[in-house]
Amino acid sequence: MRTLLRLSLVVMLVGAFAAAPASAAHAADEPRVLVLTTGHGDAETVEFALERLEMEARRWNFELVEGEPADVEEPAGFDVLMLLDTEGDIFDAGQEAAVEAFVEGGGGLVATHSAAATEPDWAWWREVLGATAAGAPVTPAAERAVEFHGDSPITEGLDEDLEVTERWYYFSPEPGEPGQRVLASMDSGDPVAWNSTESRVFYSVAGGEHETWGERDFLQLLRQAIWWAAGEEGAMVQHTADAAPRWPYTLTFVLFVAAVAGGGSIAVWRLDRTEAARLAEAAADREARV
């Protein structure tokens, strides 16, 4: 009985380790994304956003690399620059020139929320974004119905309206044809996501609130925008097994294994004690009969 229980414990541990989250084995030619969060005003939201994007990257075969503004000076090896809720003056003149050269040379740029207000005196950014924020985002955050517009690989599969609670930016001028294609708008008609028709630049007003990064459709919009900005034309391939978070999130898994091992050991110990007591009692009975 003890042997069977110990064997069962070993099988459980081996199975648990086999099911442990593993890092993704991505293809060598996966798109690489340099993510900047410099100047953000909400560390908790940005941290959660990065966690969710890491999961999307592992599941959908692109690589996310967190960086600093200085990293744009050597963009070789990256396909997309992402300005995730950046804010303020984050680039010097040389770094601005490097970003311009990167985008004009065919690199992609994906930006969210307060990135629209980043570098307010940078004329090139205003031009390539195709719009200018009319001021600070409206507070407090308000819920609005967002409608996606089809006929774009960025919004493919996004057929239903989405209720989003955000601190919304409004723009003057607003993005419009022929330089920009509006991909999503509020029920009021105000644009909330668009891409440039002349370069691989995408922007989303949403992304400033913690809850937004938990929305499945918003994450789909962003990953498809990253894929488009990277110049990928093939369909995205999902790797379901690679979606689990990396360490230290697997600490929970380790604790589970420890609990299984501990519980099994206690069970064996109790069984040993029970069996020992039974044998002692049987020996005592034999002696009494003698």
What tens digit of pLDDT does each residue of 151-187 get? 899 999 999 999 999 999 999 999 988 999 999 999 9
Q: Provide the token pair at 74.
A: 């050597």
Residues in the chain: 290
Percent of the chain with pLDDT over 70: 73
Q: What residues contact 155, with CB distance under 8 A and at least 6 apart? A: 148, 149, 183, 184, 221, 224
Backbone CA torsion sign across 140, 146, 151, 157: positive
What is the reported pLDDT for 105?
Answer: 97
Residues 64-89: pLDDT tens digits? Answer: 999 999 999 999 999 999 999 999 99
Q: What is the mean pLDDT of the chain?
A: 84
Residues 248/86, Cβ–Cβ less than 8 Å: no
pLDDT of residue 121: 95
pLDDT at res. 268? 47
Is domain 32-242 in CATH 3.40.50.880, yes or no? yes
pLDDT for 22: 41
Q: Provide the pLDDT for residue 238.
A: 86
Distance (Å, whole) CA 10 – CA 261: 9
pLDDT at 246: 52
Q: Is 84 helix (H, G, I), strand (E, B) or coil?
A: strand
Q: What is the pLDDT of residue 21?
A: 45
pLDDT given at position 177 = 86
Model confidence over 50-69: pLDDT tens digits? 999 999 999 999 999 999 99
Write down the pLDDT at residue 42. Answer: 93
Least confident range from 28-32, 41-45, 67-71, 162-166: namely 28-32
Minimum mean pLDDT among 41-45, 178-182, 236-240, 277-281: which range?
277-281
pLDDT confidence of 267, banded at 50, 70, 90? Answer: low
User: Where in the chain are the domains?
Assistant: 2-19+250-289, 32-242
User: Residue for token digits 């093939």?
Assistant: 234
CA–CA separation, 2 and 268 (whole Å): 6
Mean pLDDT confidence for 177-201: 96
What is the pLDDT averaged over residues 28-48? 93
Q: Are 87 and 37 in contact (CB under 8 A)?
A: no
pLDDT greater than 50 at residue 10? no
Residue 198 has pLDDT above 50, yes or no: yes
Sheet of 108-112: strand order equals: 63-66, 32-36, 80-84, 108-112, 201-204, 191-196, 180-186, 142-148, 162-166
* Concatenated DSSP letters of 203-246: EES--SSGGGGG-HHHHHHHHHHHHHHTT--SPP---GGG-S--
